[in-house]
Amino acid sequence: MRSIHKIGPVVLVLAVIVWLPSASFAELAAWDQERVTALGAELTEACDALYNTFVKEPAKTLGSGQSKDYYRLRQVIRRVKTEARHLSTALGEGEGYDQTLPIYENLMTMVRDAREISQRTFTSNYVTEKAAAAGDVLRRIAPYYDPKALEEG
């Protein structure tokens, strides 16, 4: 049986990635197409796993006021999965920083939305683990796009 926690999946991810000291990313990392493309592929896998785990989450374990937030979060995680795949595809086709920055920015907007909604939603340890894996990849790709993207704000 899955144990349910009051902490949403993205909250724990962002606890790891959002509150990183901004000094660790003083400026953009030098663009490395091969490395960023590999991270994009990793991100796709991690977001697919997060979404697939989340949709298996039993909604009936939610409190009466949490059902709407649960389904909102599910939709946002689906969009994160889709946008991660779009980023990975663009990088794999050789698109660089300028071409993929808008995709990354849109992805991060969705991650922030998910963080906000997840603070009001119960999820299991299984979802939290998958969210942490996706957050790890986001933390590693952020220096190539926006060193301050993972700061709380």
Q: Which pLDDT value is given to residue 59? A: 61
- Identify whether 131 is part of a domain: yes
121 three-class SS: coil
Q: How far apart are CA 12 and CA 7, in angstroms?
A: 7
Helix (H, G, I), strand (E, B) or coil at 5: strand
The answer to whether position 22 is within a domain reads no
Q: Give domain status of residue 4, yes or no.
A: no
Q: Residue 68 corresponds to which amino acid?
A: K
Work out how many domains the chain is built from and give that number. Answer: 1
Contact residues for 91 (Cβ-Cβ < 8 A; gap 6+):
33, 36, 37, 40, 100
Confidence of residue 61 (pLDDT cuts 50, 70, 90): low
pLDDT higher than 50, residue 5? no
Q: Tell me, yes or no, whether 129 lies in a domain.
A: yes
Element at 127 (helix H, strand E): helix 125-145
Are 151 and 32 a contacting pair, CB within 8 Å?
Answer: no
Q: Which domain holds residue 129?
A: 10-17+31-145
Tens digits of residue pLDDT in 121-148: 766 778 888 888 998 999 899 999 987 7
As a whole number, the mean pLDDT across the chain is: 80
- Residue 3 counted as domain residue: no
Domain assignment present for 99: yes
Q: Rounded distance, CA 52 to CA 81, Å? A: 10
